[in-house]
Amino acid sequence: MDEYRTIRGPTSVKLVRKGSRFIALAHPVGSAEEAARLLKEIRARYHDATHHCYAYRVVTDDGIAASSADGGEPARSAGLPILRAIEARGLLNTLVVVVRYFGGTKLGLGGLIRAYGDAAREALAQAEVMTEVRKARLALRYPLELTGEVMCLVNQYRAEIEEQDYREGQRLVVSLPASLIAELRHALSEATSGRVEFL
């Protein structure tokens, strides 16, 4: 997966249902670890809230990782509706946290599912959606006389040159869509009879 949709920046909305206040916060995140750090910050900021429920979907080296938690609400009444809202928009690298301040009236399972889902959907509706390209880096070294062959392939694959160093032969670092890394490595090895060293 080279391209994915995410949100450009954080948004927040507030809903009130039968006296309970729901504050939904949507954030772009780069990893599950970043989502966990942000969640910790939000819990500290809203430390007096009754519940802190969340869901996120992130791109990983193996595909997509998703997680959700009900934050003390009945099972599948909060985290899952939030996750479904993220999925419905086709978003990745996105965290949504919904904090609830209990207002004294129970909402019932259906009411909770609607409230958490609505809050998440509204926060995401406020966000600007953008497309990101997932890139990976490839570092290589090769003899100077192979510069023509190597640069021809770098250009053919539209790889961006990030670093170039001529001190120890030719050292080059390029970035390109992650799905093309293995293909470019193979093409470079073939074109240079295996004389390219991958670092």
Give residue-wise pLDDT tens across range 17-44: 999 999 999 999 999 999 999 999 999 9
- Alpha helices (H) along the chain: 32-45, 79-88, 108-126, 147-156, 181-191
Burial group, residue 191, by CB count within 10 angstroms (0-12, 13-18, 19+): middle
Alpha-carbon distance of 34 to 105, in angstroms, equals 34
Walk me through the domains of the chain, giving residue ranges and CATH numbers.
Answer: 3-132 (3.30.230.30), 135-198 (3.30.70.240)
Give residue-wise pLDDT tens across range 97-154: 999 999 999 999 999 999 999 999 999 999 999 999 888 899 999 998 999 999 999 9
**Is the model more confident about 99 or about 62?**
99
Residue 62 in this model has a pLDDT that exceeds 90: no
**Token pair listed for 129:** 């959606």
Can you give the pLDDT at residue 168? 67
Alpha-carbon distance of 78 to 89, in angstroms, equals 18
